[in-house]
Structure 1
Amino acid sequence: MRATMGYYWLYYLGIFGAYWLVDHPAVLVGLGVMILLRRWIPDPWVLLRTFGRIRALREQIAANPANVTARRDLARIYLERLRPGAALKLVDQARERDRDSAELLFLRGLALHKTGKHEEALGPLVEAVQVDARVGFGEAFRVAGDALSQLGRHQEAIDAYDRYLEKNSSSIEGHVKVALAHHRAGEAQEAKDALREASRTWSAIPGYTKRKQIGWMARALLYRLWL
């Protein structure tokens, strides 16, 4: 469910390919549309990778409506495909049979956050951590930080991101987000320190981890010029 570099470049490649074939500037309008709608368009690799899996999970649910695991897995796919409303419905159905699942509570909070219900998302995220502090390897804290940032509660967001980084110290995303939260809270020096920590972390992590986080490192470098 986490975004890394992704394969969105395939969309841009397709647009430029079409422009090269038809040689008409109107095709480039698609580039502008793609940039504007980027947050609502799923990664093309996610679409391809999950196509067959969706059908299989739907069949499992139809055959056994009590199948909590299938509903959970399908909800995860819908979140990857940027369909949080559909994911939330499945999570709520699954929780009718397993209300105390930390993972389902986390997914509910994530889906609510993705649908723009940031305040409502906080309750399930806190409950998830209370049930199992290890749920999602700290992801509940990251999502809570994102929700709190959207609500303008920047000091609380800083605390959430710090807790996330306790479990994911090599996350460039975490360092960048806590830097932005410090900046929005008016803490300029702390923001700069967090970005420097992002650079130090980048120097220490292995190559395969760098490839996954290169987008966040690019943001860190840009923010160091701006903040």
Structure 2
Amino acid sequence: MGKFFLFSILWWLTGSPFAALIIILLVLYFLDLRFVRLLPDITKPYRRWRQLSALTNLLRLNPHDTTAKLEAARLLMEKRQFSAALSYLEEVASVMEDSPEYLCDKGACLLKVGRVEEGLRLIEQALKVNPRVKYGEPYLRAAEAYAKLAQMKKALASLEELAKMNMSSCEVYYKQGELYAELNQKEKAKQSYREAVEVYRVLPPYKRRLERRWALLAWLKK
């Protein structure tokens, strides 16, 4: 009733039902972006492009800026341009080879470009240095790679290692559940979804906004 009343008011103000509908959809979109984050952020590709442009200009002036190369690689990974990201990561290998975060990112890129054995080796190396690096996400990367190779025992072993961790990331729990579901481990998948929801309930307010999307998706599947 309330939505129909709002639509009627907007129709009266704009003189067009289509304009009224567009306004309502825009309001719902921005409310989702602010509170739920189920829908994609349409401004993100533009912001990412601007960041990459700025980093490219910075690297022209200072080709040895390790921080800029790492940030550029991260943004390229978000764009799924893994070969380009890998080029930046390889340029800083001598400086960052002991960093578990770096090893995880490079390993993930190697997996995506088909260099699976190298990628898995780097991910395992990162986990030896810090088993909790990136909230356990490397275990997911390894499990996905093993599943694609039809090495189901190793895939499940990676997920079991992840399950032993007390994580504070709803996203990782949700993705763990998705992978369990792909491996026909339905009960474990549901358990992962439940864990995602439970984690969300105890998160501090500033973290809830970032994790709300994954908690809601998990709640819908649990």
Change (3 A) 1:218 1:106: same
Corresponding residue for residue 4 of structure 1:
none
Contact 2:196 2:215 in 1 (8 A): yes
One-letter code aligned to 1:198: A
CA distance in 2, matches of 1:55, 1:148: 36
What is the deviation of 1:75?
A: 0.7
Percent identity at matched positions? 28
What does 1:1-227 align with in structure 2 at a 5 Å threshold? 44-115=42-113, 117-164=115-162, 167=165, 169-224=167-222
Contact 1:84 1:111 in 2 (8 A): yes
Structure 2 portions without partners, runs of 5+: 1-17, 20-39
One-letter code aligned to 1:220: A
CA distance in 2, matches of 1:148, 1:163: 14
Contact 1:172 1:213 in 2 (8 A): yes
Change (3 A) 1:174 1:51: closer
One-letter code aligned to 1:144: A
Aligned-residue CA RMSD (Å): 3.3
Structure 1 portions without partners, runs of 5+: 1-19, 22-41
What is the deviation of 1:94?
A: 1.5
What is the deviation of 1:167?
A: 5.0
Deviations, residues 134-154 of structure 1 (Å, cap 9, x unaligned): 543433233323333443444
Describe the SS at the equivalent of 2:167. coil
What is the deviation of 1:193?
A: 3.1
Change (3 A) 1:105 1:62: same
CA distance in 2, matches of 1:158, 1:178: 10
